[in-house]
């Protein structure tokens, strides 16, 4: 068993549970649509759930790319636990546990937004710091520089910067339409940059 296999066992379990939390929320919403009591779901909560799913997937890919750099030290396991545990906590706040008690999901979103968006910001900042430290302590031999690598780095950097700006803006903007627009943009940017990185 490699060091990455041990670390993967820790974060694979928690990330899988986080994904299950979001999917279970979507499932509760689908079941609710067929119920007798009318519920307004809106766009905010589903778009936030989709963004968390995409961000989880992005972290999973990032962790796999760093597999040769990871060791099985207690510090590594603690950092991984903090990040993946944070994702699980955030994922559990997206949808209400008792959706029938919330006739308007936009109200639930407004109640949970600070914790979810603040949690995502914190997780991504910790991930960036941990990745930078990992790259400094255990650098991976780089491929020869070329135009494709430079373009990919530029796309990733610009995408990350826009994502952070939008996440910070979401913490302060109260207008629902602006929140929908920013969440849609976050999803498109995260999905778009991830797809472009694969082709460059």
Residue 136 in domain: yes
The model's confidence at residue 197, banded by pLDDT at 50, 70 and 90, is low
Residue 97 in domain: yes
Residue 169 in domain: no
Residue 183 in domain: no
Residue 56 in domain: yes
Residue 159 in domain: no
Supply the pLDDT for residue 193.
81
**pLDDT for 20 beyond 90:** yes
**pLDDT for 147 beyond 50:** no
**Angstrom distance (rounded) from CA 69 to CA 44:** 38
Task: Please state the domain count of the chain.
Answer: 1
Using one digit for the tens of pLDDT, what is the confidence trace for 29-53? Answer: 888 766 556 778 899 999 999 999 9
Mean pLDDT, range 95-99, rounded to an integer: 88
Residue 11 in domain: yes
The model's confidence at residue 123, banded by pLDDT at 50, 70 and 90, is very high
Supply the pLDDT for residue 34.
60
**Angstrom distance (rounded) from CA 65 to CA 74:** 20
**pLDDT for 145 beyond 60:** no
Percent of the chain with pLDDT over 70: 84
**pLDDT for 2 beyond 60:** yes
pTM of the model: 0.85
**Residue 127 structural domain:** 3-142
Asked whether 99 and 34 are in contact (CB, 8 A), the reply is no
Asked whether 95 and 27 are in contact (CB, 8 A), the reply is no
Supply the pLDDT for residue 144.
44
Asked whether 16 and 87 are in contact (CB, 8 A), the reply is no
Residue 15 in domain: yes
């Amino acid at each position: 068993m490699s060091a990455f296999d041990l670390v993967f066992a820790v974060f694979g379990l928690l990330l899988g549970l986080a994904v299950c939390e979001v999917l279970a929320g979507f499932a509760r919403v689908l079941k609710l649509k067929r119920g007798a009591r009318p519920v307004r779901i809106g766009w905010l909560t589903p778009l936030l759930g989709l963004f968390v799913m995409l961000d989880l997937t992005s972290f999973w890919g990032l962790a796999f790319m760093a597999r040769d750099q990871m060791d099985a030290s207690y510090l590594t396991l603690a950092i991984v636990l903090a990040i993946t545990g944070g994702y699980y906590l955030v994922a559990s706040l997206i949808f209400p546990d008792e959706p029938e008690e919330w006739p308007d999901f936009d109200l639930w979103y407004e109640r949970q937004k600070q914790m979810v968006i603040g949690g995502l910001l914190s997780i991504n900042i910790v991930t960036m710091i941990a990745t930078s430290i990992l790259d400094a302590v255990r650098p991976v031999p780089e491929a020869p520089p070329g135009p494709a690598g430079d373009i990919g780095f530029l796309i990733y950097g610009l995408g990350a910067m826009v994502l952070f700006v939008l996440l910070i803006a979401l913490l302060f903007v109260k207008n629902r339409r602006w929140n929908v627009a920013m969440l849609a943009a976050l999803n498109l940017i995260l999905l778009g940059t991830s797809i472009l990185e694969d082709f460059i």
